[in-house]
Structure 1
Amino acid sequence: MKYQLDRGCHSVYSLRFHYICCVKYRRKVLTPEISEYLKKVNQDIAGKFGVQIIEQETDRDHIHIIFASKPEVQLSKFINSLKSTSARLIFRDHPENKKELWGGNFWSPSYFLSTVGEVKLEDVKKYVQSQGNP
């Protein structure tokens, strides 16, 4: 089995995540134009955090992002920055969304985040269990 590994000064790691966030009230405001704009904004934010966006795609009312992170990145701060910065810039450059999304919130307050592994949990458990002394 081969991992795609990243390296730090004193570490080797593979940290991949799947993030999903919905537009407030599930409003279908992510037009193709806004989606492309959002993807560029997300790339800029990720670069500032040292995060690599592997894939991102939107539907009309939510976004999926698969990203690779370094161990020192605080995921909650990264996600907060994604949500707050993208919302502010979308409202600034696409003010027509303010009619659909009153109250100044573009994104729902909740989100989904999970790890994305290159092996199944059961395989890792078996490997760890096999490391015991006979």
Structure 2
Amino acid sequence: MKYNLQTGSHTVYALQYHFVTVTKYRATILTDDITERIGEIANDVAGDFGVEIQSVNGGNDHVHILFTAKPTTDLTKFINSLKGVTSRRVRSEHPEVKQTLPDSFWQPGYFLASSGQVSIDVLMEYVEDQ
């Protein structure tokens, strides 16, 4: 099995995550420009947490973000910061968004899954063969 590994002082790891968040009321307000701006803001926030954004994309009412993190990353704090900062900045930079969603930009919940570099079947086979 081959992983794209990262290292710390006493650790070797490969932690990737798939994050999805939805606009409040599923408002269809995300344009390509706004999604691109969310990606820029996400990179700013990620730097504060030692997280690396791999990809940002989505539809007109939701955003997918793929990122890598360290084992010590507090994922809840990172995601709450990411949602809060993107909400404030996008609404302040885009008056049309603030007019549609004056109080909050994102739904309170979100989806987060760890995503390995190999399928679960390959991993199970590897573990069983050890």
TM-score by length of 1: 0.90
Distance in 2 between the 1:51 and 1:59 partners? Answer: 23
List per-residue Cα deviations over 1:76-126 (Å, max 9, x = no partner).
Answer: 110001100110111111122122214x11001111111111222233233
Distance in 2 between the 1:130 and 1:34 partners? Answer: 47
1:90 aligned residue: 90
Give, in angstroms, the shift of residue 37 of structure 1: 1.5
After superposition, residues 20-59 of structure 1 pair within 5 angstroms as 20-59=20-59
Matched position secondary structure for 2:77: helix
Unaligned runs of 5+ in 2: none
Q: Which runs of 4+ in 1 moved over 4 A?
A: none
Unaligned runs of 5+ in 1: none
Distance in 1 between the 2:65 and 2:57 partners? Answer: 7
Distance in 1 between the 2:94 and 2:108 partners? Answer: 21
TM-score by length of 2: 0.92
RMSD after superposition: 1.3
1:79 aligned residue: 79
Give, in angstroms, the shift of residue 69 of structure 1: 0.4
Instruction: Kindly name which structure, 1 or 2, has the bigger radius of gyration based on alpha carbons.
Output: 1
Letter in 2 for 1:99: Q
